[in-house]
Amino acid sequence: MKRVIDLRLTRVPDLPLEADRLRPDSLAQAGLDELYALPLLYGNQTVAAGEFLRGEIQETEEGASGVTLILRGDFKRVKRLGQGMQSGELIIEGPCGFHTGAEMGGGRITIRGDAGDWLGAHMTGGVIRVEGNAGHWVGASYRGKTQGMRGGAVIIHGNAGRMTGTKMRGGLIVVRGDCLEFPGYDMNAGTILIAGRSGRHIGSGMVRGTIIVRDGHSLLPTFYHNCAYKPSFWPLLRSYIEAQGLVLDGWGADCFFDRYSGEALTGCKGEVLLCHTA
C-alpha cells in the first residue's frame, strides 16, 4: 500500500524547532491525530507537532508500496528533518534547516529549496537530493566524532558551503555548483565531486578517498601529480550521478583527468582527480 502524508507548515517557528520525529519510516502506521500529537522540541519547550503542521494522509493501492512524507512551507528553522530515517521518501517543498537527513541509513530525501548546515552528517545510506544550495559541513562528522558520512549519496544541484565531507568515511557527495573552502577535510574514504569552482585547501588532511574537481588552482603543495588518464570507474560514477537526476554538463564519459596523490602529510593514499576536459 502506498501511503502519502502531506503536511503544510501553518506558521514559521520563531525559534528552532527540532523535528527529528518527522521521518517517513516512523509514520508508517500513524494517523493524523497521532501525528499532530508528536512531541517536538521548540526552544526549551516541548510542543505538539500539530501546533505547526496541518495536512492529510492518503492511502492508495496503486504504485509501489511505501511511505512518502511531503512537507510544504518554509522549514528553514526546522532542524533534523528525516534524521535517522531508514526507508521511505521525504519530500520537502521548500527550504529546510540544519541536520536534515543526518544519520539517515536509507530512503530518499528530496529538498526543493536550500538546505541548512550538517546536511546528511553521519549518514550511512540512502540518497539526499538538494535542488537548491546546501550549507556548511555537508556529510561531515560532528565535532568530537572521528567519522562523518559512511555511505549513501548527497546530490546538490546548487552550491555547498565550507568543510564539505569533513572526515567522510564513505559515500558520495556531488556539488553541481561551487563549493567553499576545505572540501574533503580529513577525509578517510568516499568520493566528493565538485563540478563548479572549488574553494581553497581541497583535501586538506585527507587520508584516503577521491575528490574530483574541475578547478584545481588551489591544490595544496602536498599533492603530487601522477599522470593524465581516464579512470575506469568514472563512466560508472557518472552514470550513477545521472541516475540520481543530475546531469553534469561537459563532464562526458570520456573525460581525461590529472591524478594527484595526497595528502603527503597523511600518507598520500588519497587522490584528487582534476578534470581538464570539462
Coil/strand/helix, residue 25? helix
Q: How far is the CB of 230 from other proteins (least distance, A)?
A: 7
Residue 101 binds to other proteins (criterion: CB under 8 A): no
Report residue 60 CA to chain centroid gap.
Answer: 30
- The answer to whether residue 239 forms part of the interface with other proteins (CB under 8 A) is yes
CA distance 162 to 265: 21
Q: Tell whether residue 183 is a contact of other proteins (CB under 8 A).
A: no
In the complex with other proteins, which residue's Cβ is closer, 158 or 231?
Answer: 231
Select from 235, 256, 258, 278 the one that contacts other proteins (CB under 8 A): 235
Residue with cell 568520493: 191
Question: Is the distance from CB of 253 to CB of 235 less than 8 angstroms?
Answer: yes
Binding test (CB under 8 A) with other proteins, winner from 237, 255, 272, 274: 237
Determine contact, residues 204/263, Cβ cutoff 8 Å.
Answer: yes
Beta strands in the chain (DSSP E): 2-9, 17-18, 39-42, 45-48, 53-60, 66-72, 78-79, 89-93, 108-111, 127-130, 153-156, 169-175, 189-194, 210-213, 224-229, 257-262, 270-275
Residue 29: CB partners within 8 Å, gap ≥ 6? none
Nearer to other proteins among residue 77 and residue 129 (C-beta) = 129
68 binds other proteins, rule: CB under 8 A: no
Number of residues that bind other proteins (CB under 8 A): 21
The interface mask with other proteins, positions 209-228, x = CB under 8 A, is -x------------------
Contacting residue, 9, 91, 172, 273, with other proteins by CB under 8 A = 172
DSSP secondary structure code for residue 32 in this structure: H
Peptide bond into 242 cis (omega under 30): no
DSSP β-bridge partners for residue 115: 134
Taking CB under 8 A as the rule, does residue 229 contact other proteins? Answer: yes
Residues from 102 through 161 that contact other proteins (CB under 8 A): 151
Q: Is 233 in the site for other proteins (CB under 8 A)?
A: yes
CB nearer to other proteins: give 18 or 89: 89
Q: Which is nearer to other proteins, 3 or 150 (CB)?
A: 150
* Residue with smaller CB distance to other proteins, 35 or 246: 246
Residues in touch with other proteins (CB under 8 A): 151, 170-172, 190-191, 208, 210, 229-233, 235-237, 239-240, 253, 269, 271
